Structure 1
Amino acid sequence: MASEWPGGYIASLDVRPLAPPLPGRTTAWISTGLDLVAGEAASPLAFFVALVDTANGIAVRQSPEEWMFPNVDLTLHLHRAPRGRWTGLDTTVVFGPTGQGVTSTVLHDADGPVGHAQQLLTVRPRP
């Protein structure tokens, strides 16, 4: 991810794709060695959820140097509590013709599927 997104947050992640990413499609495991709050223990749920927002940046459809596609919200639907320090993201990104998009992710932990995440996008060319 560091080739697409420079910065401290991305550099703090351990990203392990299951296959080479395709435009708008990636399956990867992500984790970080950093605490959610420095020196404080976080619950497995808090640690897991803190990484979910990364889904929109992990499966880019267009170059972030040429396009902006921030998510304007994030909705999670979990059917069980996640375990462990790894977040699995099976992510698909679609853009519509009028500047909207959706990032859809099936969420996993080491035991299997945990739920789904949806992120609505606003899509614009960079000025």
Structure 2
Amino acid sequence: MSEPEAFFERLSENRFAPTEGTRGPWDPGAQHAGPPAALLGRAVTERPGGRTDMRVSRITYEILRPVPIRPLQTSTQVVRAGRNVELVEATLTPDGGEPVMLARALRIRTATEPGPVVSQGPLVAPPGDGGSGRFFPVPWDIGYHTSMDWRFTAGAFTERGPATCWMRMRIPLIAGDEPQPLDRVLVAADSGNGVSNVLDPARHLFVNADLTVHLHRYPVGEWVCLDARTSVDSGGVGLADTQLHDEKGPIGRSAQSLYVAPR
């Protein structure tokens, strides 16, 4: 079976067909949330008539139900328009179905003249210092787990607890399109709870119902690092908190609310 050339194929301006490269590790008919999250990020930044002097500072996703591997349509609307800040809502809907993912993106106008650069946060070892970590066992040969490169500099999928993992897209988001910096971070950010899981995935579910990504800058280069930690309460509610980096330093952070339960 051949590897897909991209996560999605464009069918029309705002309609896309997901490939097998989007398939998540739990359900053969459902996508990992990373590729559709990046697709909604594209919808926000490339909507017709959208401003080019703004950048996504924060984007929050509500994952309403599993995202199926069938044609999907994106739609956007401006919730708040301002001179310096705007709020854009994007929706992902399968053909003939109900919305499966919503996103609200806060975009901030970028400065016309370069200002001071202040970036604080712990430094992480570069991807060249890590090993190519194996994904945990998946019942199918092709999916998100084969569409990404993984390099752990701390922890591993087979270990419980905090982990630091560099990720790189092996295929573009949309066939025929060059990957964009925002694509790279949004495709990866939803994996924070997976790389830092604290429970045996064979015995427990730990599903995220949302994802929020804050960025003070977009990544430079192909690699994005997730320095992730997961906490779980006895009531079955968890939080995955992830510092995001590129090879130049911190770029932001992401958070995921988790539903945790025995299988």
TM-score (ref. length: structure 2): 0.45
- Structure 1: stretches of 5+ with no match in the other structure: none
Match of 1:9 among 137, 141, 144: 144
Give the fraction of aligned pairs with identical amino acids, expressed as a percent. Answer: 37
Determine if contact 1:69/1:121 at 8 Å carries over to the other structure.
yes
Give aligned pairs, total. 126
Residue type of the alignment partner of 1:63: D
Q: State how 1:24-39 maps to structure 2 within 5 Å.
A: 24-39=161-176
Greater RCO, CA 8 A, separation 6+? 1
* Aligned twin of 1:120: 257
- Structure 2: stretches of 5+ with no match in the other structure: 1-132
Q: Secondary structure, in 3 states, of the residue corresponding to 1:48?
A: helix
* Aligned twin of 1:67: 204
Runs of 4+ in 1 over 3 A off after TM superposition: none
Alpha-carbon separation, structure 2, partners of 1:10 and 1:95 = 24
Residue 5 and residue 78 in structure 1: after superposition, are their counterparts in 2 closer, same or farther (change >3 A)? farther
Residue 118 and residue 20 in structure 1: after superposition, are their counterparts in 2 closer, same or farther (change >3 A)? closer
CA RMSD of aligned residues (A): 1.6
Determine if contact 1:14/1:30 at 8 Å carries over to the other structure.
yes
Q: Give, in angstroms, the shift of residue 2 of structure 1.
A: 4.3
Determine if contact 1:77/1:117 at 8 Å carries over to the other structure.
yes
Residue type of the alignment partner of 1:51: A
Determine if contact 1:45/1:83 at 8 Å carries over to the other structure.
no
Alpha-carbon separation, structure 2, partners of 1:39 and 1:100 = 40
